[in-house]
């Protein structure tokens, strides 16, 4: 579903796929719900086994804004980019 970035959090909270402006959420082949900023190279949030994981690394001002707009309200476990990518791949 196409949504504005400012309204994406409700989709993220419910782990529903969405497409925003250079921001999107979908399920990986491994069944992990992932929110990406500007493509598959930069996941910003992942939901796996009842827990949320956030990417602790910064990329750009616009990606930082995406992180703010999509941040789930639940507690986050922050990981470095390589670690969150490994988590997504299983």
Domain boundaries, the chain: 5-89
Predicted confidence band of residue 82 (pLDDT cuts 50, 70, 90) = very high
Q: What is the pLDDT of residue 59?
A: 83
Instruction: Look at the pTM and tell me if it is higher than 0.85.
Output: yes
Are the C-beta atoms of residues 24 and 36 closer than 8 Å to each other?
yes
Share in percent of the chain as helix, strand, coil (round to 5): 30, 30, 40
Q: At residue 81, what are phi and psi to the nearest 5 degrees?
A: -55, -50
What is the per-residue pLDDT across 24-79, written as a single tens digit (0 to 9) for each?
999 999 999 999 999 999 999 999 999 999 999 988 999 999 999 999 988 899 99
Quote the longest CA-to-CA distance of the chain. 30
Are the C-beta atoms of residues 80 and 56 closer than 8 Å to each other?
yes
Q: What is the pLDDT of residue 1?
A: 86
Are the C-beta atoms of residues 37 and 67 closer than 8 Å to each other?
yes
């Amino acid at each position: 579903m196409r949504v504005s970035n400012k309204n994406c959090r409700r989709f993220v909270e419910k782990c529903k796929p969405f497409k925003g402006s250079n921001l999107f959420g979908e399920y990986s082949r491994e069944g992990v719900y992932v929110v990406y900023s500007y493509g598959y190279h930069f996941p910003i949030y992942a939901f796996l086994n009842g827990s949320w994981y956030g990417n602790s690394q910064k990329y750009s001002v616009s990606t930082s804004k995406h992180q703010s707009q999509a941040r789930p309200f639940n507690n986050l476990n922050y990981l470095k980019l390589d670690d969150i990518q490994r988590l997504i791949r299983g």
